[in-house]
Amino acid sequence: MKSIILGVLTAASLVMAQPGMAAETEPKDLNAVAAAVTQALKGTKEINSRNISVTTHASTVVLSGKVATEPEAARALTVAEKAAAGTRVTSNLEVEPPAEGTAHAASAQLVKDVQAALHKDPRTANLPITVSIDGQKGIALHGLVPARQDRAAAQTVALQVNGVTKVDNRLQTPGD
């Protein structure tokens, strides 16, 4: 009975001694790998790691969160793979759109303010004027108005709105 047990133990020890087999039979501490990846991301100045979370799932390290650019996402994955030392890494990182939202909202508000001012002023209240804006907060006025003085009045009203830096008066009168 002893020889059979020894034979089994010897066979098991031979399997364990084969190259590459030890890593497969010994499970890695995924929490330690995730911690190493987190530290590596924090230590890389090209990566803003504040919005990146590192978790583990099914023997895989998972990167989630938001980054500013595609190159930053690629760099984060490369750094994580290196720090994971052979453990599989998956990236679910999202690239944030540029922070135009606040600038766009301010531009939309400026257009609304000019439209409101045109509707309040008795000289321009009933004129069919469309308002648009360019990237430098320059307002453009579009439409067909009855007379040149209506065109001038609309420009004056638009210029008085807080935040308007210039007016591109594209208003037309009959016969222009």
Residue 166's alpha-carbon distances to 33, 88, 105, 140, 161, in angstroms, are 57, 56, 19, 8, 10
**How is the chain split into domains, by residue range?**
16-95, 101-172
Q: In the prediction, which pLDDT does 3 show?
A: 34
Strand residue runs (E) in 2-147 = 52-57, 60-67, 88-95, 129-133, 138-144
Cα–Cα distance measured from residue 49 to residue 60, given in angstroms and rounded to the nearest whole number: 19
The C-alpha atoms of residue 75 and residue 110 are separated, in whole angstroms, by 39
Taking only the tens place, the pLDDT of each residue in 82-108 is 999 999 999 999 888 755 555 566 777
CATH architecture of 101-172: 2-Layer Sandwich (3.30)
| 131 contacts 115 by C-beta, under 8 angstroms | yes
Question: Does the pLDDT of residue 120 top 80, yes or no?
Answer: yes
At 118 the pLDDT is 93
pLDDT of residue 5: 33
Identify the band that residue 11 occupies on the pLDDT scale cut at 50, 70 and 90: very low
State in words which class domain 16-95 has: alpha beta
pTM assigned to the model = 0.44
